[in-house]
Structure 1
Amino acid sequence: MPTVDRGMLIRCVEAATLAPSLHNSQPWRFRIDGETVEVYADPARRLEVLDPHGRELTISVGAALFTLRAAIRDAGWIPAVEAYPDPDEPDLVARVRPEQPAEPSPEAHELATAISRRHTNRRPFSSAVVPADVVDKLRDAAVHEGARLTVADRASRTVIVSLGRAAADRLRGRGGYFAELNRWTRPLPGRLDGIPAHAMGPWDALERIPMRDFGVVMSQPSRHGEEFEPYPTIAVLTTVGDAPAQWLQAGQALQRILLVATRLNLATTPISQPVEIPSIRDVLSDPRTDRWAQMVIRLGYGAPAAATPRRPVAEVLIAQSS
């Protein structure tokens, strides 16, 4: 059996850093131990106001974990994943090991190719309808990771948009919200995290889309409102259970969905505001069946979005102890 090349693992970790994260906080670290990659949460990068329990941090790390899996698979290995392998080390969320060499399928290769092309798009989409067969592929992507993706019908969409506005109002009234938003949107020389001005997009003049307005803390005289798509395609990602294991599962499902969508030339916007207020999140969930909303996703067709910066792999890779 061929040996696992450390250089290949480093390249796969570098691909994993392209995953989406709340406010582009990039709350992950990695350690290469022989032929195994350990994936860690970085609690220092948790957003204390928006994410007091670390749910969205774990979803972000789950997205990076899936990206690592996809990159290893494209490199010609079937990855074996052990989630939360050490109860005494809760920040260690997974160990990933290239277990068996195997040529990637065309689908696996296309998924990995989408990693560098996937960018959160906060600009208006066209009014083109997302076809039913495309929606089915996205649903299948969620199921593949043990989650469920439910596309809102007209009535549900109206409710979600209303809930999104209510969540935005509640969040603006939360102590420390604007200071935290400013922390992750403030331009700094050489900054390689956070949301740069070019990625914020315009504000929705008609308030049809329940997205966060990143421009509220910045002085941008040239920033203007635009009309977004009149009937947005909005989906809710849910899991059975609502513990760290399910948050990690949700992150992997989210990234698989986003990469499949990218492969199918869809633009995507993960929307977290409606699930950041517990009472509003409860409306999108079904506690009776223990099914919990983890993320809202906007889908559609639009001009490609620009990439946001990423920290270099050397900054997220934990050095091996001697």
Structure 2
Amino acid sequence: MSGTYLDSSVLEKLIAAAVAAPSMHNTQPWRFRLDTESTTLEIHADVGRGLPHEDPHGRALHIAAGAALFNLRVAVSHFGWKPVTRLLPDPRHPDLLASVHITGRTSTRTLHADDLYEAIWHRHSSRFPFGVQPVPVSVRHELAEAARAEGATLAVTGPRETARLLRITTEAERRNHADPARSAESRRWSSRDRAEDTGIPSAALGPQDTFEQLPMRDFSARRSLDQLPARPFERTPALA
């Protein structure tokens, strides 16, 4: 390959990296379009995969699209090109969330592409208890620096703020259970035998907390006899 010509195999890898990003209930609420003349990949919102009851304002959809955009930028850098990103590039098309113009040859060190690209394929959500070993300070600093490099701030919460967030999350989960529409929407995206690429398979669902301290999400709204037995979660969770 020369210049910024994309053959089909590389294009498939770029898109595969983007869709490996996390999204609420793994709905993958995005569509991709390639402008071959300008070698630009567009990320569009797929409102048909939105969550009108649990995400009525589309906040989670936009966060998911941002994660897909980051993965795409990492993949473009991994293959030696420079990703030039524009957010909301066309006011006439609000569902066009971002575009990535692929241009020039660049160092694969951009965006730490050597290690982050491989990590894309291993990332997954864990809904099981974590160990009690604290996250090393050096790792916290490295994560904070990575966030700062993207124009964001990562703050590790102290005991009082952690307790406050757990109370808020517990109340949110209580409201979810009390809302039939939200419960039904959650059930639609989680299934024991779900074969599609989207949604949450039963194997990815986690148990409830024996101590009833951590409000773990119950995706099927109080699963009955086949639910996982409760397990003791960490007493002092690390939140950021």
Q: Which amino acid aligns with 2:209?
A: D
1:125 aligns with 2:126: no
Alignment of 1:174-189 (within 5 A): 174-188=179-193
Mapped partners of 2:70, 2:4: distance in 1 = 22
Which position in structure 2 is the counterpart of 1:25? 27
Following TM superposition, the consecutive aligned residue runs of length 4 or more in structure 1 with deviations greater than 6 angstroms are none
CA contact (8 A) 2:194 2:200 kept: no
Identity of aligned residues (%): 39
Instruction: Provide structure 1 residue ranges, at least 5 long, that are not aligned to the other structure.
Output: 236-322
Note closer, same or farther for the CA distance 1:228–1:171 as it changes in structure 2 (3 Å cut): same
Which position in structure 1 is the counterpart of 2:96? 92
Q: CA deviation at 1:124?
A: 0.6
Mapped partners of 1:102, 1:128: distance in 2 = 39
Which position in structure 2 is the counterpart of 1:211? 216
Q: Which amino acid aligns with 2:135?
A: V
Q: Which amino acid aligns with 1:210?
A: P
Mapped partners of 2:235, 2:226: distance in 1 = 26
Q: Secondary structure at the match of 1:221?
A: coil
Q: Which amino acid aligns with 2:52?
A: E
Mapped partners of 1:33, 1:186: distance in 2 = 36
CA contact (8 A) 2:29 2:65 kept: yes
Mapped partners of 1:115, 1:95: distance in 2 = 20
Mapped partners of 1:42, 1:199: distance in 2 = 24
Higher strand share: 1
Which position in structure 1 is the counterpart of 2:7? 6
Q: Which amino acid aligns with 1:183?
A: R
Q: CA deviation at 1:168?
A: 0.8
Q: 1:71 aligns with which of 59, 71, 75?
A: 75
Q: CA deviation at 1:67?
A: 0.6
**TM-score with structure 1 length normalisation?**
0.69
Mapped partners of 2:216, 2:63: distance in 1 = 18
Which position in structure 1 is the counterpart of 2:161? 156
1:171-190 per-residue CA deviation (whole Å, 9 max, x = no partner) reads 22234011101111134563
Note closer, same or farther for the CA distance 1:220–1:197 as it changes in structure 2 (3 Å cut): farther
Which position in structure 2 is the counterpart of 1:110? 115
Alignment of 1:1-322 (within 5 A): 2-7=3-8, 8-34=10-36, 35-105=39-109, 107-188=112-193, 190-221=195-226, 223-235=228-240
**TM-score with structure 2 length normalisation?**
0.92
Higher relative contact order (CA 8 A, sep 6+): 1
Q: CA deviation at 1:82?
A: 1.1
Q: CA deviation at 1:230?
A: 1.6
Mapped partners of 1:209, 1:118: distance in 2 = 23
Mapped partners of 1:93, 1:148: distance in 2 = 22
Mapped partners of 2:215, 2:7: distance in 1 = 43
1:173-224 per-residue CA deviation (whole Å, 9 max, x = no partner) reads 2340111011111345632211111101111111332331224354452511
Q: CA deviation at 1:59?
A: 0.6
CA contact (8 A) 1:181 1:217 kept: no
Note closer, same or farther for the CA distance 1:220–1:88 as it changes in structure 2 (3 Å cut): farther
Q: Which amino acid aligns with 2:75?
A: A
Q: Which amino acid aligns with 2:116?
A: L
Mapped partners of 1:9, 1:56: distance in 2 = 26
CA contact (8 A) 2:132 2:234 kept: yes
CA contact (8 A) 1:178 1:217 kept: no
Q: Which amino acid aligns with 2:178?
A: G
Mapped partners of 2:33, 2:236: distance in 1 = 44
Q: CA deviation at 1:29?
A: 0.6
1:250-276 per-residue CA deviation (whole Å, 9 max, x = no partner) reads xxxxxxxxxxxxxxxxxxxxxxxxxxx
